Amino acid sequence: MEQNMHLPEDLKPVIDFHGHFCPGVLIGWRASKLALKLLGVGRDRDEELVAITENDACGVDAVQYVLGCTFGKGNLVFRDYGKQAFTVFRRSDGKGVRLVLKAPGRELTREESARRLLEESDEALFSVGEPKEPMPERAVIRTSAYCDACGERAMETRIRTMEDGRRLCVPCAEIG
């Protein structure tokens, strides 16, 4: 698909990070670039930005690469809504923006979708609005505790205390 399209230089490392070229990675790339522009910021270095993604599809890899928001730093939050929607906040003043991919006028092939995402304007691709939820708090480093069943360490806030007093990690608590 990409061999007959001209790809911007700043897209190539995103594709390398993701592992392949697809319309999904283009959605996250375009949304992330638009969020940076609207918020007047550059790529995150130490939680200056926080992103909420409403899907776990290919575009989230672009969000991580372009915005610098990651699960490991605690400034990437996943909401399992199945929407091509991305909210990005600037921590310095709490300003945020929610971007939602607009549906095309008809069903597109993968190549048509990719071409649309490469060529159309930001305004044609995304609805821009206010965040629908407050900015998430900064990541907190939590203490760990041992599971009484498997002996593995788990975040203290994820340990469940059973009726018999045993303290179990989530998987062991689900087994009983």
Which tokens is 80 given? 């399992």
Q: Where along the chain do the CATH 3.30.60 domains lie? A: 144-175
pLDDT tens profile 81-138: 999 999 999 999 999 999 999 999 999 999 999 999 999 999 999 999 999 999 998 8
Q: What is the CATH number of domain 144-175?
A: 3.30.60
What pLDDT is recorded for position 2? Answer: 64
**Continuous H helices in the chain:** 12-18, 23-39, 59-67, 110-119, 122-125, 170-175
Contact 38, 26 (CB under 8 A): no
pLDDT interval class at 146 (50, 70, 90): very high
Please, what CATH class does the domain formed by 2-129 belong to?
alpha beta
Residues 6+ positions from 145 with CB-CB distance below 8 Å: 153, 154, 156, 159, 167
pTM: 0.85
Q: Where along the chain do the CATH 3.30.1330.130 domains lie? A: 2-129
